[in-house]
């Protein structure tokens, strides 16, 4: 019997604790696996296996009118030479992606620098189908100060840049108890650090488990999840979090799942009206009427307020659109980083990208990234982050023209102290108590509107246009600031050989700031050469 779309959706979602955070994309790292050297399994009827191993060197030369990115800054040249490795594997028992590069920059002023970049995520089966391991390892550059000069690629400039490093490993056991239930139990070990003055967890440990109703429960089901987390910071600060949830759901029709949940959450040192724990009810629904449409939503209320999420995607003709909203309290090593990935929206609700052929076309045209891109003011303290994000994306694909429109609105707050952590504003209408000797208190409002357009000239050459407007409202202990960054970039790209591509273009950036934020203008001419071996 063919499974209903709703059951396929549930299997694709999996336990939330077993998922690893998406790393951030850097230029040149978004080549789709299908467009590279592929080794296919030869067994009749077997699943296609894909392996990619592409070493290369990316070089670029940029002339900029403002290498200092300051009011009245000096002009200069920036040269880049960056060896890299782009690799991936996709088999029945292993799935992984890796992009590693050592980016070297040579500047006529502002000094030279080396910026290691690493993007990796994967999972593999260790023993049978029951013992698995997954993990991520990431090193990348972010904007250090949201009040300073903001750029799309912070590593290129040797000012206002911070490096972020994050590693985690997650062994887990999964299996089935007859037809009664499916289980999943795991341990996650992570660490994060940076070369800036930011409060990050040097050790993050998490034990998680889930038990979900099996096939014998036909038109209804149940699920239990539990999570215990311990995070350690420099100076001896420890934060513990314990959460649990029990849910019941039913399938009134094969493509619709609706349910209710009872939830518990306890966060040490996060007090609302004198409480740091509580229980509450929630509701959720998943609707998958076809492989073109998917909607997933949930809401729950706990002692710190109401949280929820909504994701929806729909493909019609040559268009594909998606919306994603979430409001949550995060205690994760990358929780304070705003990462936007329009491509992931098109798999909302658990869809595989293979079910959306427009997605793969957009990736091959460099209009979508296989990973998310960090935008905004970089790192906050990750002691505890209130996150409220909304992203909407619409894409159009035709043989000669493709366009992606994306809009994001985000508010993130964080507060950390050596003794008490609270929020300085309201969550769900509940005011937090007074701040106590904060080490770091920040609130970032980020609004980003972007357009990426690609026009195909022939089988080897394309024209590109990028428009972006980024607005940052930042609040910190030292004061407030507002920045509006506008960017216009045009480019021409051509495939010289099967292994070599070249591009050149013109870019203009204009930043206007008030309060503590700065203002600057920059016009740059650039050329790149990407050679693979």
Q: Residues 46-96: pLDDT tens digits?
A: 456 788 899 999 999 999 999 988 888 889 999 999 999 999 998 989 999
Q: How many CB atoms lie within 10 A of CB 483?
A: 25
Q: Would you say 168 and 191 are in contact if contact means Cβ atoms under 8 Å apart?
A: yes
- The three-class DSSP label of residue 529 is strand
pLDDT bin (cut points 50, 70, 90) of residue 26 is very low
pLDDT reported for residue 201: 84
What tens digit of pLDDT does each residue of 275-323 get? 899 999 999 999 989 878 889 999 999 999 999 999 998 888 888 888 9
- The three-class DSSP label of residue 35 is helix
Q: What are phi and psi of 126, to 5 degrees?
A: -95, -45
Q: How high does pLDDT run on average in the chain?
A: 80
Determine whether 216 is exposed, middle or buried from the number of CB atoms within 10 Å of its CB (0-12, 13-18, 19+): exposed
Q: What are phi and psi of 298, to 5 degrees?
A: -155, 155
Lowest mean pLDDT among 66-70, 245-249, 384-388: 384-388
Q: How many CA atoms lie within 13 A of 172 on its CB side?
A: 27
Q: Would you say 418 and 437 are in contact if contact means Cβ atoms under 8 Å apart?
A: yes
State the Cα–Cα distance between residues 472 and 447, nearest whole angstrom: 7
CA proximity to 516, closest of 471, 470, 483: 483
- Residue, of 30 and 199, whose pLDDT is higher: 199
pLDDT bin (cut points 50, 70, 90) of residue 418 is very low
Query: With helix as H, strand as E and coil as C, how does 331-386 read?
Result: CCCCCCCCEECHHHHCCHHHCCHHHCHHHHHHHHCCCCCCCEEECCCCCCCCCCEE
State the Cα–Cα distance between residues 359 and 418, nearest whole angstrom: 45
pLDDT reported for residue 162: 84
pLDDT reported for residue 368: 62
Q: How many CB atoms lie within 10 A of CB 111?
A: 9
Check whether 42 has a pLDDT greater than 80: no
pLDDT reported for residue 270: 83
State the Cα–Cα distance between residues 332 and 117, nearest whole angstrom: 21
State the Cα–Cα distance between residues 177 and 192, nearest whole angstrom: 37
Torsion sign over Cα 416, 417, 421, 423? negative
Q: How many CA atoms lie within 13 A of 226 on its CB side?
A: 6
pTM equals 0.80
> What is the average per-residue pLDDT within 344-356?
52
Check whether 190 has a pLDDT greater than 60: yes
């Amino acid at each position: 019997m063919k499974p209903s779309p709703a059951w396929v959706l549930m299997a694709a979602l999996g336990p939330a604790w077993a998922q690893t955070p998406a790393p951030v994309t850097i230029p040149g790292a978004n080549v789709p696996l299908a467009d590279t050297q592929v080794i296919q399994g030869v067994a009749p009827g077997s699943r296609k296996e894909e392996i990619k191993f592409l070493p290369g060197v990316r070089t670029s030369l940029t002339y900029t009118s403002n290498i200092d990115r300051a009011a009245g800054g000096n002009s200069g040249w920036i040269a880049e030479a960056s060896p890299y490795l782009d690799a991936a594997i996709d088999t029945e028992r292993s799935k992984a992606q890796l992009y590693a590069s050592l980016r070297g920059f040579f500047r006529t002023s502002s000094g030279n620098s080396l910026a290691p970049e690493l993007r990796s995520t994967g999972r593999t089966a260790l023993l049978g189908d029951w013992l698995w391991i997954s993990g991520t390892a990431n090193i990348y550059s972010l904007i250090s100060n949201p009040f300073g000069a903001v750029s799309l690629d912070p590593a290129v400039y040797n000012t206002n840049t911070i490096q972020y490093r994050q590693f985690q490993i997650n062994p887990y056991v999964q299996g089935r108890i007859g037809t009664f239930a499916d289980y999943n139990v795991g341990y996650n070990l992570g660490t994060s650090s940076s070369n800036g003055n930011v409060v990050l967890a040097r050790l993050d440990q998490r034990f998680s488990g889930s038990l979900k109703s099996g096939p014998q429960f036909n038109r209804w089901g149940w699920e239990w999840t539990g999570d215990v987390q311990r995070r350690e910071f420099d100076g001896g600060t420890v934060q513990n979090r314990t959460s649990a949830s029990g849910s019941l759901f039913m399938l009134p029709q094969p493509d619709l799942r609706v349910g209710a949940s009872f939830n518990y959450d306890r966060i040490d040192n996060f007090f609302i009206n004198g409480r740091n724990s509580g229980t509450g009810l929630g509701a959720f629904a998943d609707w998958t009427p076809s492989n073109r449409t998917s909607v997933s939503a949930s809401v729950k209320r706990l002692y710190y307020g109401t949280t929820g999420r909504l994701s929806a995607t729909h493909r019609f003709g040559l268009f594909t659109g998606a919306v994603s909203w979430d409001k949550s309290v995060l205690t994760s090593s990358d929780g304070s980083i705003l990462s936007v990935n329009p491509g992931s929206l098109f798999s909302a609700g658990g869809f595989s990208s293979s079910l959306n052929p427009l997605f793969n076309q957009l990736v091959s045209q460099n209009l979508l990234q296989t990973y998310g891109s960090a935008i905004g003011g970089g790192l906050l303290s990750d002691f505890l982050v209130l996150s409220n994000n909304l992203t909407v994306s619409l894409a159009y694909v035709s043989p000669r023209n493709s366009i992606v429109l994306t809009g994001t609105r985000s508010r993130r707050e964080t507060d950390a102290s050596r003794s008490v952590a609270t929020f300085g504003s309201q969550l769900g209408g509940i005011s937090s108590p007074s701040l106590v000797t904060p080490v770091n208190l920040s609130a970032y409002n980020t609004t980003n509107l972007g357009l990426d357009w690609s026009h195909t000239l022939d089988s080897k050459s394309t024209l590109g246009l990028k428009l972006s407007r980024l607005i940052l409202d930042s609040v910190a202990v030292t004061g407030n600031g507002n920045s509006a960054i506008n960017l216009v970039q045009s480019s021409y790209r051509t495939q010289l050989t099967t292994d070599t591509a070249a591009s050149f273009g013109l870019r203009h950036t204009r930043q206007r700031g008030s309060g503590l934020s700065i203002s600057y203008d920059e016009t740059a001419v650039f050329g790149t050469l990407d050679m693979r071996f």
